[in-house]
Amino acid sequence: MVVAARRRNKLRRALSVPGLVLAFAISGCTSTQWISIDAALDSDIPTARHESALVAHEDKLYLIGGRRNNPTDVYDPATQRWTQRASPPIEIHHMQAVSHGDAIYLIGAVTGGWPTETPVDRVLKYYPSDDRYEWTHEIPPARRRGGAGVVVHDDKIYLIGGITHGHMSGSQAWFDEYDPTTGQWRVLPDAPNARDHVHGVVSNSRLYVFAGRRTSRATGQDLDLTVAHGNVFDFKQARWLPVTEALRLPTQRAGAAVMTWDDEIIVAGGESASQVPAHNEVEAYNTRTATWRRLPSLQQGRHGTALAVVGDDAYIVAGSGKRGGEPELIDIERLTLPALSSSVTAAQQLPQQPITDTPSQNTTPVYQQWHTVTLNFAGPATSETEAKNPFTDYRLQVLFENGSERFTIRGFYAADGKAADSGADSGNIWQVRFAPPTAGEWHYVASFDTGEDIVLLPGSFDGEPLPLANSAGHFTVMPSDKSAPDFRAIGQLGIKDGYFVSAHDSKTWIKGGTNSPENLLAFYDFDGTYRVAADARDGEAAPAGDLHHFAPHLTDWRDGDPTWRDARGKEIVGAINYLADSGMNAAYFLTMNITGDGNDIWPYLTHEHRDRFDVSKLAQWERLFAHMQRRGIMLHVVTQETENERLLDDGDTRRERKLYLAELIARFAHHPGLVWNLGEENGPTDWSPHAQNTVQRESMARYIAQQDPYSNPVLLHTHATAHHKDEILTPLLGFDAIDGLSFQVDDPKRVNAELIRWREAAARAGHDWLITMDEIGPWHTGAVPDADSTDNHQSLRRHVLWGSLLAGSAGVEWYFGAKFDANDLTSEDWRKRDSLWQQTRIATQFMQRLSLRRATPCNALTHSYCLALNDGRYLIYSNAGTTPSLDLSAALGDFQIDWLDVMNGGALQKGSLERVTGNAERELGNAPMSDRDWVVLVSPL
């Protein structure tokens, strides 16, 4: 009686679902429409659920999981009966189940309530024959996620996509292989698109992934970021195929059900922000013709379930009838599949309705905004050492257009086009790298010319044209699917009111990172890298005997991170991971230090060349730079140092310097988070008189500005003393090709005043300078390791970090003193300054949340460093044991007082006084704890 009552209640719920039609199926009947079927009268009916899995196993359907801990419901199509079986050991949902061998596998799932669900940490197996669930292999912590697509191919199980932080954030393009026999987990190359709430299928040795979205409750975009195009992985070629317009899903949605039949991939149902009812559209992609057609719609739109095939019939069960979580459905719909065959008879029964506009769309490539587009062009077979120099005597130029936007991008010689991995020094491939700044349709036209030193001539010079296959084309650009701090989500860094701003949303971006080791690229796993013996200059760090290995950071490399040439490069990639994991977002490095302190970095074939470049080395640099951008690390590209300012063209910008700069720009300027630096300690001093003059540095800056199609910021690294700054910088005030200063100061206590002085001088000259505090003296000390700081970097924190930020700087980098362990040239382990990174992260992330543009220093209103924000708030640095005050004589109303713990971060705290009234100078009360420094935020109420 209890079972019968429950069955009647469920049936009553089913009948109450709007628009649901229940009908009895006639065994053996075929139809080209979905029909809703009911179980036999004496059979139970399934538990209402959504975000569950449906899978066919040995000719039965298994409905598993869903929100709440539901029983497993089994449907036998032969008898049309439901039976109820065991529940999973925990609540498990947002997963695609697969049948393999004698078990059903549940991987890539989450548990817990919306919106902060937790990824399940192990593989769960269900044995239908025993009605038994069993936990098995652990999923690697770094690869756990839910809402992933799961497929079986050649006895391995593959996971694609997913989300790491419930519905809040963390959509991924991850692709993994799991061996269900051994438990081995292998990270494979990321898919072209990140997505979650997705299913995958395999057809003819290819994995197809359609639909899904990038769920982002954190930004209020729960349903908005649906993924337009599908992705295809070819198992035979072991690579993701290019994304083309043919893969555009006609109806964008997530939580759709996907299956394969004959040569078609069928996508049914789903949810989106475009409508409240769940989608009922069913669309099929023909893998042979790369066209879409519409199939009969579902009787009831639904999402959060799956399609399963038994015999010649497709089934879909349960799910939710509206976007979100209700109403939960319990009915089955069935579609007889033979009628959908691509045969002539079937086509007559259901005429195809292609959705693509023109055949040309099928091959139109699809890229993403600010993601690198690399085009290969075949030219003459040559080599790095060929008599006719491939770096000077051939010129590839590509014009990219999108409406009124036009970019002329110079190409470069790329040997075999894969030199980072092959190490090749010869071949016939020239490449161009382009980062499209806007979405839309882009067209390009390439020209290829030859002539002596043609790369140094204006683009209008014809030269001798060379034939070029595929010299014109077009592609589609979609918005990026990445999230900050990835620079492909942030977009190019521009400058406004003395601060870095994001091209994506114009928000202020504050720099915090490392200035050392300056010879970061002197890494033993880069091709053609070696050190030339040289005596260290007095006042500088001495290089160690060997190149950098960064061995302590090998453990920071992760599966899926880049390598090159036989899995090289893990240590330096791991070092970047550590820096990013510490919350840092910038790294300063030289690209040429011939005759300089390290004498171990150059882009050339050898340290004696000036017009022949090492293609494989530069391709490996690019591999590292791309990873830095993905991890949110700005590329602070320092083109020379004080010892070699006149190495090229005796300081002028003629053949050698133009070629050097043009090559850097062609290969690396496409990275959106990049700044050019004219040189470390640029200009003459008493200890380095052989240096560039004002005309030479202006000429160099002007050339970079003219050649860089993206107009990346150009900075100048200063000398340490005030009088050297006066001599070198004063003539540059108002010069518009220099965007700012990379500041060096020899005494921490002078940072705030000097920075304010030069910001004000630039403003008076009519051209604001962005200033970043990048090298702190004295030269022998700088930022020492944590173990050598008796006061946990108190002077650096007060006077350099906060002293610069409250003077209006755009960020900081830390120089490692020359006379301490892990110095400016020898540092191998960034962990030695872990506390310094933490304090920097607290400061920069706090400042980045504020409205900083047009902020002005206000030290005169208090007895410490002070910055007045444009929204009426004030920031004041308060030393331990002091009671700060603020002159509010010119301010009306009440003000709230909050305190930031600059050592430990966390939420703002309250001190002894919560608010004050304007019209007078006011003490701000005592800090929450008097034994440490604080920053006080005073806000109008």
DSSP secondary structure string for all residues of 137-162: EEPPGGG--BS-EEEEETTEEEEE--
- CA dist 551 and 45 (Å) reads 60
Label residue 142 exposed, middle or buried (CB < 10 Å: 0-12, 13-18, 19+). exposed
Residue given tokens 């919306």 in the structure block = 114
- CA dist 616 and 679 (Å) reads 25
Distance (Å) of CA 353 to CA 295, 438, 552: 9, 32, 59
Distance (Å) of CA 899 to CA 278, 314, 545, 911, 932: 48, 61, 47, 7, 12
Amino acid at 428: N
The pLDDT assigned to 686 comes to 87
Q: Identify any residues that bridge with 827 across adjacent strands, giving them in sequence order.
A: none
Rounded to the nearest 10 degrees, what angle do helices 722-729 and 751-764 cross at?
20
The pLDDT assigned to 458 comes to 81
How many C-beta neighbours within 10 Å does residue 477 have?
Answer: 21
- CA dist 162 and 122 (Å) reads 15
Name 423's Cβ contacts closer than 8 Å, sequence gap at least 6. 527, 565, 616
Amino acid at 562: P
Distance (Å) of CA 311 to CA 61, 101, 314: 11, 18, 8
Residue given tokens 């192990």 in the structure block = 122
Instruction: Name the helix (H) or strand (E) containing 438.
Output: none
Q: How many Cα atoms within 13 Å fall on the side-chain side of residue 38? A: 16
**Are 897 and 913 in contact, with CB atoms under 8 Å apart?**
yes
The pLDDT assigned to 413 comes to 98
**Are 861 and 873 in contact, with CB atoms under 8 Å apart?**
no
Pairing of strands 472-478, 366-368: parallel
Pairing of strands 714-717, 740-745: parallel
The pLDDT assigned to 354 comes to 46
Q: What are phi and psi of 201, to 5 degrees?
A: -140, 160
How many C-beta neighbours within 10 Å does residue 320 have?
Answer: 26
Angle at 711 between CA 710 and CA 713, to 5 degrees: 125
Q: What are phi and psi of 303, to 5 degrees?
A: -145, 170
What does the block give as tokens for 837? 């990174």
The pLDDT assigned to 10 comes to 39
Instruction: Name the helix (H) or strand (E) containing 200.
Output: strand 199-203
C-alpha 48: how far from its chain's center?
Answer: 39
- CA dist 737 and 423 (Å) reads 37
The pLDDT assigned to 533 comes to 79
The pLDDT assigned to 461 comes to 72
The pLDDT assigned to 26 comes to 31
Residue given tokens 């509206």 in the structure block = 322
Q: What are phi and psi of 753, to 5 degrees?
A: -65, -45
Label residue 794 exposed, middle or buried (CB < 10 Å: 0-12, 13-18, 19+). middle
The pLDDT assigned to 561 comes to 96
Buried b (16+ CB within 10 A) or exposed e, 535-546: eeeeebbbbbee
**pTM for this prediction:** 0.92
How many C-beta neighbours within 10 Å does residue 796 have?
Answer: 25
Nearest CA to 64 out of 86, 37, 42, 35 is that of 86
Q: What is the DSSP letter of 731?
A: G
Buried b (16+ CB within 10 A) or exposed e, 105-141: bbbbbbbbebeebebbeebbbbebeeeebeeebebee
- CA dist 651 and 696 (Å) reads 6
Q: Which own/partner contact pairs does 757-762 have at CB distance under 8 Å and 24+ positions apart?
A: 758/725, 758/729, 759/498, 759/807, 759/808, 761/730, 761/733, 762/733, 762/734
- The list of the chain residues with pLDDT below 70 reads 1-31, 39-42, 339-361, 534-544
589-646 pLDDT tens trace: 999 999 999 999 999 999 999 999 999 999 999 999 999 999 999 999 999 999 999 9
**Are 924 and 936 in contact, with CB atoms under 8 Å apart?**
yes
Q: What is the DSSP letter of 626?
A: H
**Are 272 and 280 in contact, with CB atoms under 8 Å apart?**
no
